[in-house]
């Protein structure tokens, strides 16, 4: 791949000092490449907002570097920093539109800031409103719009300066599922048509699955895991990742004592094989499902199941063999605490 | 009391009352104008240098950051001193300054400097509270788009706070109007002066009531005008 558009190296951010210091970020290293949709997921307080605010220097890192398109943001200040920020714009959970300006004027706002003549700015703003499907609301005020519409205006506004990167901090967290889906598909469409790199911050798994190609899992201020979405979600290896993939945890109270368990992953087959029933029919082995989480990502079936193996060692081996022989399934025997 | 409705009363005092009204309006208008010229920038500065102000949060140099904090403290202190001085005392205190500024200590002109000096700190606080209502997220969004401090003041803080600033404006004007009546006590003219000279010293009740009613009407008019304007201009209420 080409050079990263955002490269974060050894980034730390500490709020306060001494006894009361909060280490919000610790030694973060990330590479985000041009044209990708990169997800950053983590539970509340993990430091997601702090991380994304370090990318446009709304927050000043305590140490480390933030390279945007090869330029070290942490070395910039004043006019140069303001100029650089036009390349990395942002949308927010609470939209943050100017309530006393019409939609059109809101989209004109960033162009006004950099001195683009008003007629030209208006023309471009109209184009952008058309792009997000809100040309008919140009003269409406934000208070007259629904949440989804407000976020569309915010997106149009964020695109006004032709940024290379669009940062989305919990951009869909205040929206209902249908509206969330439409905003996500808009982001995906903009990413494909304009080639703008999108960084999506969220605590919602569905958001990442829906549009991201790669993801970093943030936990307690550091990156627990990062990589291709499918790999991480089908086989979470860290506790932090498992907590996100199985938000409700795995119930263990109904598991027979001393059970052996196997974790199987469906790795992108087009359908879920009727594994459990074929185990029973082909091998005569009965297994029970301890936990299951399956989803469809980019049209492929992914998921994890935790099966308990029979106590009888022979039967267990038979079942394991059978599972291993299946396509698009990987299995791994796991120690299971009761 | 009933002589109010006679033409004799109005032919005797009508001119006087009209002039009083005019003087009161002049004092109020000009004092408010100059007090805002002073108070508005001070209020803006209070917000910018406050704990969550952009001059604080975007200042990475710790020395400059502490300097900004100090400016905020000093400003706050000066404003509090200004606000705690009773108007009548302040008026006497600044008389030399008044004389130097406008050439006289009395009359409409002489009342304006003390009115401005006492109203400006009050207005600074009103402006501060209006601007603090502006959503910090909106300010942050502007920063993320590369807005300078100056642009944030002119394009975000002030326009977004317009409805609240206008409501604050009505409170400021009415307060200044009340002060003009006090200023009347030491020869500033206006309705307050009439109420004291005729109503109080000469015990002409009808004259006092008329000035009271005039003041009441003025306050009512100012209040409803500004309230309507504020609602009319507020784009959040559509
Ligand atoms: N200005 C600040 N001063 C002090 N501590 C802060 C500040 N901003 C954030 N923090 C702390 O840094 C940590 C990370 O906060 P951050 O807002 O980045 O979390 P988050 O992952 O975005 O959470 P959420 O999902 O709730 O938005 C938290 O412990 C928070 O209390
Ligand atoms: Mg956050």
Torsion of Cα atoms, B196 then B198 then B204 then B209, to 10°: -60
B170 token code pair: 């009505």
At A297, which CATH number? 3.30.70.260
Contact B158, B127 (CB under 8 A): no
A35 token code pair: 């044209």
Query: Is residue A233 helix, strand or coil?
Result: helix
Q: What's the count of helices (H) and strands (E) in chain B, helices before strands?
A: 11, 0
Domain that holds residue A134: 6-240
Mean pLDDT of B189-215: 83
pLDDT for B107 equals 82
B144 token code pair: 């993320």
pLDDT for B63 equals 86
Decide if A93 is inside a domain.
yes
Ligand found nearest the CA of A24? 1
Decide if A256 is inside a domain.
no
Mean pLDDT of B22-47: 94
Mean pLDDT of B49-68: 85
**Who among A84, A92, A99 is closest to B236 (CB)?**
A99
Mean pLDDT of B195-219: 85
Query: Looking at the 3D structure of chain A, how many domains does it have?
Result: 2
Decide if A168 is inside a domain.
yes
Average model confidence (pLDDT) across chain B? 88
Name residue, tokens 């795995």.
A250
Interface pTM, i.e. ipTM = 0.86
Please state, in angstroms and as integers, the Cα–Cα distance from residue A297 to each residue in A163, A214, A270, B207, B223, following that order: 28, 12, 11, 85, 61
pTM of the model: 0.82
Give the nearest chain A residue to B135 (CA atoms): A96
Which residue owns the Cα nearest ligand 1 atom 12? A24
At A29, which CATH number? 3.40.50.300
pLDDT for A291 equals 73
- At which of A211, A240, A269 does a domain end? A240
Mean pLDDT of B105-129: 90
Whether residue B1 has pLDDT greater than 60: no
Lowest mean pLDDT segment, chosen from A197-201, B1-5, B233-237: B1-5
Whether residue B161 has pLDDT greater than 70: yes
Q: Which fold has domain B2-237?
A: MetI-like fold (1.10.3720)
Decide if A248 is inside a domain.
no
Q: Which residues in B lie closer than 8 A to residue A158 (C-beta atoms)?
A: 145
Ligand found nearest the CA of A22? 1
Chain-chain contact of B138 with A97 (C-beta, under 8 angstroms): yes
Give the H/E segment covering residue A183.
Answer: helix A177-194
pLDDT for A191 equals 93
Residues A172, A44, single domain; the answer is yes
Predicted confidence pLDDT, tens digits, chain A (338 residues): 578 899 999 999 998 888 888 888 999 999 999 999 999 998 888 899 999 999 999 998 999 999 998 889 888 888 899 999 999 999 999 999 999 999 999 999 999 999 999 999 999 999 999 999 999 999 999 999 999 999 999 999 999 999 999 999 999 988 888 899 999 999 999 999 999 999 999 988 888 888 999 999 998 888 988 888 888 877 777 877 777 776 665 544 455 555 677 878 777 765 555 777 777 787 777 777 777 777 766 666 677 778 878 777 788 888 888 888 877 777 777 766 54
Q: Does B160 touch chain A (CB under 8 A)?
A: yes
């Amino acid at each position: 791949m080409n050079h990263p558009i955002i490269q974060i190296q050894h980034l730390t951010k500490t709020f306060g000092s001494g006894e009361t210091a909060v280490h919000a970020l610790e030694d973060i290293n990330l590479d985000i490449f041009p044209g990708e949709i990169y997800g950053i997921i983590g539970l509340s307080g993990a430091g997601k907002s702090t991380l994304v605010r370090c990318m446009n220097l709304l927050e000043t890192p305590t140490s480390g570097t933030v390279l945007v398109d090869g330029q070290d943001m942490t070395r910039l200040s004043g006019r140069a920093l303001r100029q650089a920020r036009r390349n990395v714009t942002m949308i927010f959970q609470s939209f943050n539109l100017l309530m006393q300006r019409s939609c059109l004027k809101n989209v004109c706002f960033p162009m006004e800031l950099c001195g683009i003549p008003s007629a030209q700015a208006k023309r471009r703003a109209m184009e952008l409103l058309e792009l997000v499907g809100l040309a008919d609301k140009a003269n409406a005020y934000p208070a007259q719009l629904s949440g989804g519409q407000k976020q569309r205006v915010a997106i149009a506004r964020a695109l006004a300066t032709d940024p290379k990167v669009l940062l989305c901090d919990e951009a869909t967290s205040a929206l209902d599922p249908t509206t969330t889906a439409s905003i996500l598909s808009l982001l995906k469409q903009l990413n494909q048509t304009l080639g703008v790199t999108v960084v999506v911050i969220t605590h919602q798994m569905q958001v990442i699955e829906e549009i991201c190609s790669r993801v970093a899992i943030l936990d307690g201020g550091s990156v627990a895991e990062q990589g291709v979405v499918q790999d991480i979600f089908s086989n979470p290896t860290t506790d932090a990742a498992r907590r996100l993939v199985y938000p409700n945890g795995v119930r263990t109270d109904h598991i027979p004592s001393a059970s052996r368990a196997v974790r199987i992953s469906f790795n992108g087959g087009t359908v879920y094989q009727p594994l459990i029933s074929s185990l029973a029919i082909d091998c005569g082995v009965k297994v029970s499902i301890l936990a299951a989480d399956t989803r469809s990502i980019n049209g492929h079936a992914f998921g994890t199941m935790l099966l308990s193996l029979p106590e009888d060692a022979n039967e267990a081996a038979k079942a394991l063999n059978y599972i291993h022989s299946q396509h698009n399934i990987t299995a791994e025997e796991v120690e299971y605490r009761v | 009391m009933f002589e109010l409705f006679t033409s004799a009363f109005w032919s005797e005092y009508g001119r006087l009352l009209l002039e009083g009204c005019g003087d009161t309006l002049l004092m109020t208008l000009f004092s408010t104008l100059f007090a805002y010229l002073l108070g508005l920038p001070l209020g803006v500065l209070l917000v910018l240098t406050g704990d969550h102000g952009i001059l604080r949060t975007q200042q990475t140099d710790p020395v400059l950051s502490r300097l900004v904090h100090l400016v905020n403290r000093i400003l706050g202190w000066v404003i509090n001193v200004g606000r705690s001085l009773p108007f009548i005392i302040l008026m006497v205190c600044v008389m030399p300054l008044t004389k130097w500024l406008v050439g006289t200590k009395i009359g409409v002109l002489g009342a304006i400097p003390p009115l401005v000096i006492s109203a400006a700190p009050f207005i600074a606080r009103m402006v501060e509270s209006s601007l603090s209502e502006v959503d910090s997220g909106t300010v942050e969004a502007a920063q993320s788009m590369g807005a300078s401090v100056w642009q944030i003041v002119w394009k975000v803080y002030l326009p977004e706070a317009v409805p609240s600033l206008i409501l604050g404006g009505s409170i400021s004007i009415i307060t200044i109007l009340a002060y003009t009546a006090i200023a009347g006590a030491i020869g500033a003219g206006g309705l307050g002066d009439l109420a004291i000279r005729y109503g109080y010293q000469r015990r002409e009740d009808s004259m006092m009531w008329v000035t009271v009613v005039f003041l009441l009407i003025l306050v009512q008019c100012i209040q409803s005008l500004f309230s309507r304007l504020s609602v009319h201009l507020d784009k959040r209420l559509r």
